[in-house]
Amino acid sequence: MTDAAALPGQPRGGVLSGPATPRAVNVLAPNASAMTLDGTNTWIVSEPDSDLAVVIDPGPLDDGHLRAVVDTAERAGKRVALTLLTHGHPDHAEGAARFAALTGTKVRALDPALRLGDEGLAAGNVITVGGLELRVVPTPGHTADSLCFHLPADRAVLTGDTVLGRGTTVVAHPDGRLGDYLDSLRRLRSLTVDDGVHTVLPGHGPVLEDAQGVVEFYLAHRAHRLAQVETAVEDGYGTPAQVVARVYADVDRSLWPAAELSVRAQLEYLREHGLIQGPA
């Protein structure tokens, strides 16, 4: 068995659902898959002595899960006062409208199409509910509308799909862009260096205890993959599918369609930077 402390980000062992930090509780959605890992993490965040809570990523349209989130908050003596979205993928956001109806809350997101209410989310926003403070961190790349939420009081960051608790994320071309994603990872690294963030509360997988370590791993992994893709193109592998078969040969073939999205984003990045030639 591999020591968790030796893995990227030092993933926390044990059950995923339940308290993760003094202010964050996870309710795991029952939508496990190769792409969603153990399922979507729906986060309830609040000040310990407050009766108001914020829910981040209600998850899929699963009434049992959505009611379990409400019940978990209510058992802790809290009322859900606001719903936030890290991005619009269905495993994070499809249940948001139903959840808003259950709780009577507004839904705030970067993408106007996902909002319920007049307020969106933007870089630099500071959200305060019941004494809780969340800072909006723009992290496009996985998708154009991806955001993270910095929770200063717990020295934590809620990362959605930008950083996962296990494995690495897909840059979902064409909506996702690798250059943006690399900039977002560097932005998260700055949080670990300048703001003391050490805990990652991801959208999937276990809590990570070493935020800086996992971000550095992600950056190194992306650099390695880019070099592999560039070499594959130089060796005559001309299509995204051919590059996947060469570069991702050690990856479960069921994940190759997602890997092809990442390869398309990598090819676009390499062309933009003049490292390879040819049409998109």
Catalytic machinery residues: 91
- Laid out side by side, the sheet with 132-138 consists of 126-129, 132-138, 147-151, 156-160, 199-202
Residues 6+ apart with CB under 8 A from 251: 259
Helix (H) or strand (E) holding 220: helix 211-234
Quick check: helix, strand or coil at residue 146?
coil
**CB-CB contact of 155 with 126 (8 Å):** no
Give CA separation, 152 vs 47, 165, 188, 192, in Å.
Answer: 12, 20, 13, 11
Q: How many CB atoms lie within 10 A of CB 67?
A: 13
Q: In whole angstroms, what is the distance from residue 53 CA to residue 47 CA?
A: 8
Enumerate the β-bridge partners of residue 19. 25
Give CA separation, 37 vs 86, 161, 216, in Å.
Answer: 17, 11, 22
Beta strands in 99-210 (DSSP E): 107-108, 126-129, 132-138, 147-151, 156-160, 199-202
